[in-house]
Amino acid sequence: MNRNDLYHHSHHYSGQSGDTLPKQVVIYLHSAAMGKLADKLVGKKIAVIGGSAG
């Protein structure tokens, strides 16, 4: 996967408007990477600080 593929497969969040910061936050959870992680995350106890927003 190259950068263009990454871009096209990325998920875009519209951020708050601002003049000095990027207006989009890109969240991309690569399917292959998550596939590999998935088995290791089953049943794990995870704290997400800022998980209601972040």
Partner 1 sequence: MSFPISECESPDSRAPRIGYGAAQAFLEVGAHVTILSSSLERVSDAVKHLDSPNVQGKVADARDEENLTQALLSLAPLDHIIFSSVDKIIRGPLADADLEEAKHLFGVKFWGSVIVGKGNCPLIWLWALASDS
Tokens of 21: 């910061």
Going by C-alpha positions, the residue among 9, 38, 39, 42 that lies closest to residue 26 is 9
Q: Long-range pairs for 45-53 at CB < 8 Å and ≥24 separation?
A: none
Tell me if 49 contacts partner 1 by CB under 8 A.
yes
Which positions from 18 through 47 interact with partner 1, judged by CB under 8 A? Answer: 18-21, 24-25, 27, 29, 31, 34-35, 37-38, 41-47
Assess 14 for contact with partner 1 (CB under 8 A).
Answer: yes
Binding site for partner 1 (CB under 8 A): 11-21, 24-25, 27, 29, 31, 34-35, 37-38, 41-54
